Chains A and B, each alone.
Chain A
Amino acid sequence: MTLLSYFLNNPDTIFRLILEHLQLTGSAILTAIIIGVPLGIAITRHKRLADIMLAITSVFQTIPSIAFFGLLIPFLGIGKRTAILVLFLYALLPIVKNTYTGIKEVSPFMIDAGRGMGMTNMQILRMVELPQSLSVIMAGVRIATVINIGTTTIAAYIGAGGLGELIFTGIQMYRNEMILAGAIPAAILAILADQVLGYVEYKLTPKGLRKTK
């Protein structure tokens, strides 16, 4: 009951924090797409570089998030900037890796056929490799987003804002309704993002490649 009244009494705060949360996650994911997809494509052309890049990005992934924030605070201080950088680095691995895998999985015979018919390298990328790997790339974006919505709640600890603010404040003040007011929307966001991006993934899969339902 107290939970419901908390929601009813603080709609503006909750709404603002949801937006802030989305903003943090969104800007990190967008940057990760803009940098990660071309990076993923680039390393398919270079085996050694691919090994190195994938190793580096998976190291980022293994660092616990709270430790990662801690590592960067001495250099960047606390706040949104540090948070977005960490979130971005977290999102990088699934996106780079899926782009790389998606393109690598395109049958070499497809590429041979394309080249043999007189496609340029750019046309092979644009007309053969990308359309066939788009759904795999999108799956990477989806994983990155869902993980990131979770990690963003922790970013509140270093003053980045977002729904984590309610959770941490609630813990300190022993106010369960406040904790839940942060936790429930965060969980719903993650579930929604998963659903919506799953749909986008399906829509982006070319018709000829969709598995019949």
Chain B
Amino acid sequence: MISFKNVTKRFDNFTAVDNLTINFNKGETIVLIGPSGCGKTTTLRMINRLIEPTEGTIYINGTDISKLDVVELRRNIGYVIQQIALFPHMTIAQNIGLVPYLKNWPEKKRKERVEELLEFVGMPPSEFYHRYPNELSGGQQQRIGVARALAADPEIILMDEPFGAVDPITRATLQEELLQMQDKLGKTIIFVTHDMDEALKLADKIAIMKDGKVLQYDSPEQLLTNPAHGFVEEFIGKDRLIRQPEFINVKDIMIKNPVTILPERTLTQALEKMRRQKVDSLMVVDKTDKFIGLITANDVLQNFDNAEKVAEIYKTDVHYVSEDANVSQVLAIMAEKQVGYVPVISDDQKLSGLITRSSLVNVLGQRLTK
């Protein structure tokens, strides 16, 4: 779908992107990640020609994009940035309908499209159509930012740290929504972030970049189990152990005191607890500490109006492992069931710990630096 052939970008004496050759497949979410100055944003911005390469060629569906009309090219690529940058003087509808307007869609078609997209991002048109951006929360604004990028139904969407400016709970919700959106729409998304958890959560493929080069370009599971030597290992959080994951016991690396909640608690209390503990999910346990389920920030927010207690909405069909399981089994569950959390349960059904994708990475990283 998108391919870079020997692309180099130099700014004065600084080489931002160095002889990059890479292919991004249609319908995949590709995350570009790396420390600042690694060239990830430059790479992204060359796709819609906000930055022109110094050398090399970029192709979209086989066409050299430098041969295309630049304005037309950009109108056919969605663009979302961290600063959101909704136009404050335009209504929500005008913001979303901007690219269709630039493309001269008839007014009726534009209006229908805007309403459809507002529904799609869960913001009823009757309530939001005529509002202005400054009346919305940060999370709502970025939902509109995403809707605006989708407006003319582009095949490719570029997202430059889109969730970098919102609080952790909203971020988790927006990430969840992006995954759901991707299930329905199957866009080709190029996503820049410096947050490894976000990358692992969203990506079909991750490209780890440093000094303008891609060091490894692989699926999240491959990166976790077979990282390239040196920087990639370090960047993910080194893991000599994960290379033989069957030898690591979950008991040794699980989070010992996962944040829990009783089913009798209200949703407001659940949210407050997540906020305080900076997590996006809670383990539901009964008074004897027996594990009975799991609740995520997304569950809470989606059911906030129609439920009161945690008991009404928590998930019970959670995949868990026993204390003597090994990391290999956890990875298998994560990959197979597409889950980010795996609770660890003792023989008497009590919650003894929790493993998340990020805890895997963090703990393994710590072990090596010791």
Q: Which residues in A have some Cβ–Cβ distance to B below 8 Å?
A: 107, 109-110, 112-120, 123, 127-128, 131-132, 206-209
Q: Are A116 and B79 in contact (CB under 8 A)?
A: yes
A to B CB contacts below 8 Å, 15 in the list: A107-B85, A109-B81, A112-B50, A112-B81, A113-B87, A114-B87, A116-B48, A116-B79, A117-B99, A118-B74, A118-B76, A128-B87, A132-B87, A207-B89, A208-B88
**A110 to B89, alpha carbons, bound, how many Å?**
11
A132 to B81, alpha carbons, bound, how many Å? Answer: 20
| Complex: A113 Cα to B98 Cα, angstroms | 11
Please report which residues of chain B, range 102-138, place their CB below 8 angstroms from some CB of chain A when the two chains form the complex: 102, 132-134
- Taken together as a complex, chains A and B put the C-alpha atoms of A120 and B72 apart, in Å, by 10
For B69, the closest partner residue in chain A by CB is A118
In the complex, the chain A residue whose C-beta lies closest to that of B134 is: A208
Instruction: Among B50, B71, B83, B88, point to the contact of A120 (Cβ < 8 A).
Output: B71
Binding site for A on B (CB under 8 A): 48, 50, 71-76, 79, 81, 83, 85, 87-91, 98-99, 102, 132-134, 148, 158
Contact check, A131 vs B71: say whether CB atoms are below 8 A apart: no
The number of A-B residue pairs with CB atoms under 8 Å apart is: 65
Q: Are B89 and A109 in contact (CB under 8 A)?
A: no
Q: Is the CB of B85 within 8 A of A109?
A: yes
Least CB distance from B334 to A in Å reads 35
* Contact call A209/B50, Cβ cutoff below 8 A: no
Q: Is the interface of A mostly helix, strand, loop or mixed?
A: helix
On whether the beta carbons of A109 and B83 are closer than 8 Å, the reply is yes
Give, as a whole number of angstroms, the nearest-CB distance from A123 to chain B.
7
Residue contact A116 to B74, C-beta cutoff 8 Å: yes
A118 and B85 in contact, given A113-B79, A208-B90 (Cβ under 8 angstroms): no
A117 to B102, Cβ gap below 8 A? yes
B342 CB to nearest A CB, Å: 39
> Which residue from B71, B89, B91 sits with its C-beta under 8 Å from A118?
B71
Residues of A within 8 A of B89 (CB): 131-132, 206-209
Would you call A115 and B75 a contact (CB within 8 A)? no
Q: Chain B contacts of A114 at CB under 8 A?
A: 87
Contacts A117-B102, A119-B71 supplied; 20 other A-B pairs, CB < 8 Å: A107-B83, A109-B81, A113-B81, A113-B87, A116-B48, A117-B148, A118-B71, A118-B74, A118-B76, A120-B71, A131-B87, A131-B89, A132-B88, A132-B89, A206-B88, A207-B89, A207-B132, A208-B88, A208-B91, A209-B134
The 10 closest A-B pairs by CB, nearest first: A206-B89, A208-B132, A118-B75, A118-B74, A113-B85, A116-B79, A109-B83, A109-B85, A131-B89, A208-B88
* B81 engages A209 (CB within 8 Å): no
From the candidates B72, B85, B99, B132, name the one contacting A112 in the complex (CB within 8 A): B85
Which residues of B sit under 8 angstroms from A118, Cβ to Cβ?
71-76, 99, 102
**Selected contact of B88 from candidates A117, A119, A123, A209, CB within 8 Å:** A209
Q: Is the CB of A116 within 8 A of B50?
A: yes
CB distance from B287 to the nearest CB of A (A): 48
Query: Do the beta carbons of B102 and A123 come within 8 Å of each other?
Result: yes
**B81 contacts A117, CB within 8 Å?**
no
Q: For residue A120, which residues in chain B have a CB less than 8 angstroms away from its CB?
A: 71
Shortest CB-to-CB span from B190 to chain A, Å, is: 13
Q: Is the CB of A110 within 8 A of B71?
A: no
Q: Which residues of chain B have C-beta atoms less than 8 A from A132's C-beta?
A: 87-89
- The reply to whether A117 and B87 contact each other, CB–CB distance below 8 Å, is no
The complex places the Cα of A206 from the Cα of B83 at a distance, in Å, of 21
Q: Which residues of B contact A117 (CB under 8 A)?
A: 74-75, 79, 98-99, 102, 148
Are A110 and B74 interface neighbours, CB within 8 A? no
CB distance from B328 to the nearest CB of A (A): 43
Residues of A contacting B73 in the complex (Cβ-Cβ under 8 angstroms): 118
